[in-house]
Structure 1
Amino acid sequence: MADDQHVEQELPPLDTLAARLEYLFEKIRPTPEELGDSNEPGRKYTNKEIADKINAMASETGVSISAAYIGELRRGVASDPRTSHVRALADVFGVNSGYFVDDVAARRIQEQLTLLSELRRMDVKQVALRQVLADNGLSATDTQLIEQMVARLRAVAAGTGLGDADAAPDGRS
């Protein structure tokens, strides 16, 4: 079963422009500011939203694009976009434009996005803990030791079936 967790870490092949673009749609999500009052946190961008972002910068960049064309790129129907479209897509997603044409750059960005997803999944609790410990004068080494202790306690609790709320100091639940 432990091997099942490593399957998630395998990176999918990004052998076409469509696969690379779809990967960005899968991994990069709208910010809370972009979502506004929407009750859809964590949802994917739509083709229209990406087109709108590119078109909003058209006066500066001279690049415009349609949602339909982005859909064609995602499906592989269109596979040879203009360089300006590649740059605009890269800018909107916050990646280097080399991602779309260079296998090494694509792999590096894919690894970075996977790491970012993992860090988000770990939650911001660790960041808050580090800040509290630093504010109380603990060194980086001390902070790391405390984080390791917390991780070990979680592992022990998971192994015994006791969650944080279920574990009593005297061992009774």
Structure 2
Amino acid sequence: MAEESGEVRVPGVLADRLDRLFDRIRKPDGSAYSLREVADAITAQGESISHTYIGQLRTGKKRDPNLSHLRALARFFGVPVEYFTSDRLAADVDKELDLAAALQQVRARTVALRKSVIPEAQSAIDALTELLGVIRELEQGKPDADDGA
């Protein structure tokens, strides 16, 4: 996160949403993408962007990116470009990101359980029980449809 690098975060919708993508969308090994990795991947796809600029968007120092940069960031993270502009769509995507992150954690725990001395049947039951608990928590945290988001 920006605070860890010594940079000061300036609150902003774009910065918060971009930071959330960096937090939730992970590499296959579960580690976070660096600013440089994202910039390099986007540039390789034909949209020139620097890791410094992405960092400034993420911390809120820059607040008005051009549409081509938003499209490239959205494409990299696998979200619609409207994620950055629509509160309702962002809320829906955030719920999906939360569920995906919870599923990834459950998968990691399931692998760890399988390697332990617990029989596989019990580990599967435990993993499913944990998954159901996470889904219940996410459902309880859901805003009402009438909230106007």
Confirm or deny a common fold (TM above 0.5).
yes
Pair 1:110 & 2:94 matched: yes
Distance 1:15 1:108, change over 3 A: farther
* Structure 2 alignment gaps of length 5 or more: 1-10, 112-120, 131-149
1:93 paired residue number: 77
* 1:12-52 per-position Cα deviation (integer Å, ceiling 9, x unaligned): xx9610000000011111224xxxxxxxxx32111111000
TM-score w.r.t. the length of structure 2 is 0.64
Bigger relative contact order, structure 1 or 2, given CA contacts below 8 A and separation 6+? Answer: 2
Structure number with bigger Rg: 1
Which whole-Å CA distance do the structure 1 matches of 2:101 and 2:18 have between them? 17
Once the two structures are superposed, the pairs formed by residues 1-173 of structure 1 within 5 Å of their partners are 16-32=13-29, 42-58=30-46, 63-123=47-107, 125=110, 150-151=125-126
State the shift of 1:120 in Å.
Answer: 1.4
Letter in 1 for 2:40: D
* 1:56-91 per-position Cα deviation (integer Å, ceiling 9, x unaligned): 010xxxx21011100110110100100010000000
Which whole-Å CA distance do the structure 2 matches of 1:52 and 1:79 have between them? 21
Which whole-Å CA distance do the structure 2 matches of 1:15 and 1:67 have between them? 19
Larger relative helix fraction: 2
Same amino acid, percent of matched pairs = 39
Alpha-carbon RMSD? 2.6
Letter in 2 for 1:26: D
Secondary structure, aligned partner of 1:123:
helix
- State whether residues 12 and 60 of structure 2, in contact with CA within 8 Å, keep that contact through their aligned partners in structure 1: no
* 1:81-116 per-position Cα deviation (integer Å, ceiling 9, x unaligned): 000100000000111111000001111110001001
1:5 paired residue number: none
- State whether residues 83 and 89 of structure 2, in contact with CA within 8 Å, keep that contact through their aligned partners in structure 1: yes
TM-score w.r.t. the length of structure 1 is 0.56
Find runs of 4+ consecutive structure 1 residues off by over 3 angstroms.
none
Distance 1:64 1:92, change over 3 A: same
Letter in 2 for 1:54: I
Which whole-Å CA distance do the structure 1 matches of 2:23 and 2:101 have between them? 11
